[in-house]
Amino acid sequence: MIEAAGVSWRYGANPVIDGVGVTARPGRVLGLIGPNGSGKTTLLRLLHGALRSPTGTVTVDGDALGALNPREAARRMAVVVQESGGETALTVAEMVLLGRGPHLSTFQRTGATDHEVAARCLDRVGATHLAARSFAGLSGGERQRVLIARALAQQATHLLLDEPTNHLDIRYQHEILRLVRGLGTCAVVVLHDLNLAARYCDDLVLLGQGAVVAAGEVSDVLRPEILEPVYGIGIRRLEIEGSLHLLFHPLHENEHEHEHEEISA
Q: Within a domain: residue 90?
A: yes
Q: Give the pTM.
A: 0.87
Give residues with Cβ within 8 angstroms of 218, minimum separation 6. 31, 197, 198, 201, 202, 203, 204, 244
Q: Within a domain: residue 177?
A: no
Sheet order of strands, 14-24 included:
14-24, 2-11, 57-60, 63-64
Q: Within a domain: residue 128?
A: yes
Q: Within a domain: residue 129?
A: yes
DSSP-based three-state secondary structure for 170:
helix
Q: Within a domain: residue 127?
A: yes
Domain count, the chain: 1
Q: Within a domain: residue 36?
A: no
CA atoms within 13 A on the CB side of 137: 9
142 is in which domain, residue-wise? 86-155
Q: Within a domain: residue 112?
A: yes
Q: Which residue has the higher pLDDT, 214 or 12?
A: 214
Can you tell me the mean pLDDT for 28-53? 95
* Cβ atoms within 10 Å of 138's Cβ, excluding its own: 19
Is residue 187 within 8 Å of residue 159, measured between CB atoms?
yes
Can you tell me the mean pLDDT for 123-133? 93
Can you tell me the mean pLDDT for 50-76? 94
Q: Within a domain: residue 124?
A: yes
The answer, yes or no, to whether residue 88 has pLDDT greater than 90, is no
What pLDDT score does 175 carry? 87
